[in-house]
């Protein structure tokens, strides 16, 4: 028993030598692939339709890949491991609909935003008990685990408290399709997600859901994270984004996938949450 514990501790000590990440230049020089991660089901930013990646981020990635002079690859995985993959060096960047907040900026640098997303709540269309923020008191909310939508729920809590109510139970889901399913079958009373995402799901399932009011005061910005300090990858992505902003391609794709366009997105964001 003691021998086993010593061996175990020894192994953990050895693994404490953390892996050293390579820079963009090193990878290009050594003909190693540059890998970005993308979420597998976060409409309309990225999802898989009939086996093919679709959505705003995936189309932008195709453009990125087309003009990259090196081996640029993409891995599509569940949200749970995406940011951790970037911070551990598995991915050089995440081309995903991630929201920017202070906690994340401690570990990541974000490229310039591709969209601004206000948080709203979604309810069942036939649920007449919810007409405004005050009706959310005591009701169960569904939200994605590890998301800024979850992290900013305290702002909604304050809004409900102002109307004299209290926030109900919070249920965390690995991904949004499951949350919408539980909203449809009545297990949760409302789901909090970005306006862009909710407009998308209402278009896909007309008549089932209805969008309510904003649950935050200021929008969150959507940006691609790279590991903090990875200036090369950050500059590379920012150059690309600057180009697609200037030549109108970004606006075109925004209109196509997000059904709206953002004309004056900042280049750098300093969230206060």
Partner 1 sequence: MSDLPFLLQGAVVTASVSLVAIVLGVPLGLALAIVRWRRVPLLSPLVALYVSVIRATPAITLALLIFFGSPSLGIVLGAAPAAVLTLLINTSAFNCEIWRAALIDFPRDQVEAARAFGMPPRLMFRRVVLPQVWRTSLPALVNEMTLLIKASPALAVIGIVDLTRAASRIGAATYKPLPPFLAATAIYMLLVMLFVAAQRYVERRVRQRFEMA
Partner 2 sequence: MSRDFLVAFAHYDQYLSGLWNTLWLSAATLVLASIAGCFVAALMLTRHKVVRLPATGFVDAMRCVPFLLFAYLVYYGLPELSIRLDSWTSGLIALAVYHTAYVAEIVRGAWTNLSREQIEAGRAFGFAGLPLFARIILPQLFFASVPLIGNQSIYILKDSAFLMIITVPELTFAASSVQSTYFVPFASFVIAMLLYWLVTLVIEAMLKRVELAAEVRRA
Tokens standing for residue 112: 């310039």
116 bridge partner residues = 221
Going by their DSSP bridges, the two strands 141-144 and 115-117 should be labelled as unpaired
Which range binds partner 2 by CB under 8 A, 43-51, 82-90, 120-128, 245-253?
A: 82-90
Question: Which CB sits closer to partner 2, 118 or 174?
Answer: 174
- Assess 185 for contact with partner 2 (CB under 8 A): yes
Long-range CB contacts for residues 59-67, cutoff 8 Å, separation at least 24? 59/253, 59/256, 59/257, 60/95, 60/114, 60/244, 60/250, 60/253, 61/36, 61/95, 63/240, 63/244, 63/249, 64/95, 64/237, 64/240, 67/240
Question: Which CB sits closer to partner 2, 72 or 83?
Answer: 83
Residue 39 phi/psi, 5-degree rounding, is: -75, 155
Which partner, partner 1, partner 2, none, binds residue 4 by CB below 5 to 8 Å per kind? partner 1
Answer whether 57's CB lies under 8 Å from 94's CB: no
User: Minimal distance in Å, beta carbon 4 to partner 1?
Assistant: 4
Which range binds partner 1 by CB under 8 A, 16-24, 63-71, 148-156, 214-222?
A: 16-24
Which range binds partner 1 by CB under 8 A, 76-84, 99-107, 128-136, 142-150?
A: 76-84
Give, as ranges, the residues between 160 and 179 that touch partner 1 (CB under 8 A): 174, 177-178
- Assess 211 for contact with partner 1 (CB under 8 A): no
- Assess 40 for contact with partner 1 (CB under 8 A): yes
Which partner, partner 1, partner 2, none, binds residue 7 by CB below 5 to 8 Å per kind? partner 1
Q: What distance in Å separates the CA atoms of residue 168 and residue 164, rounded to the nearest whole number?
A: 13
Tokens standing for residue 26: 């090193």
**Among the listed residues 162, 166, 169, 205, the single contact to partner 1 using CB under 8 A:** 205
Indicate the helix (H) or strand (E) that contains 191: strand 190-194
Binding residues with partner 2: total (CB under 8 A): 26
Whether the bond between 44 and the residue before it is cis, its omega within 30 degrees of 0, is yes
User: Minimal distance in Å, beta carbon 173 to partner 2?
Assistant: 6
> From the centroid of its chain, how far is CA 151?
12
Residue of 112, 103, 91, 120 whose CA lies nearest to 219 = 120
Under the rule (CB under 8 A), what is the footprint of partner 2? 12, 15-18, 79-81, 83-84, 87-88, 103, 107, 145-146, 151, 171-174, 178, 181, 185-187
Under the rule (CB under 8 A), what is the footprint of partner 1? 3-4, 7-8, 15, 18-20, 35, 40, 75-78, 80-81, 84-85, 88-90, 174, 177-178, 180-181, 184-185, 205, 208
């Amino acid at each position: 028993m003691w021998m086993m514990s010593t061996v175990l501790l020894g192994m953990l000590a050895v693994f404490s030598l953390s892996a050293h990440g390579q820079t963009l230049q090193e990878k290009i020089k050594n003909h190693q692939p540059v890998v970005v991660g993308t979420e597998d089901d976060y409409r309309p930013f990225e999802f898989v339709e009939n086996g093919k990646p679709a959505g705003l981020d995936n189309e932008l990635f195709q453009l990125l890949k087309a003009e990259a002079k090196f081996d640029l690859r993409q891995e599509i995985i569940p949200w749970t491991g995406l940011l951790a993959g970037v911070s551990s060096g598995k991915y050089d960047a995440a081309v995903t609909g991630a929201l920017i907040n202070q906690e994340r900026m401690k570990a990541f640098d974000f490229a310039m935003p591709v969209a601004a997303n206000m948080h709203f709540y979604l309810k069942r269309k036939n649920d007449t008990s919810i007409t405004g923020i005050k009706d959310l008191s005591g009701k169960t909310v569904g939200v994605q685990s590890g998301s800024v939508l979850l992290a900013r729920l305290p702002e909604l809590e304050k809004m409900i408290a102002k109307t004299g109510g209290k926030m109900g139970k919070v249920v965390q889901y690995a991904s949004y399709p499951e949350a919408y399913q539980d909203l449809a079958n009545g297990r949760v009373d409302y789901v909090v997600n970005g306006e862009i995402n909710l407009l998308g799901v209402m278009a896909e399932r007309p008549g089932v859901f209805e969008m309510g009011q904003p649950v935050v005061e200021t929008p969150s910005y959507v940006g691609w994270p790279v590991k903090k300090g990875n200036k090369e990858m950050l500059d590379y992505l920012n150059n690309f984004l600057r180009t697609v902003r200037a030549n109108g391609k970004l606006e075109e794709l925004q209109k196509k996938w997000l059904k709206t366009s953002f004309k004056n997105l900042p280049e750098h964001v300093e969230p206060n949450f």
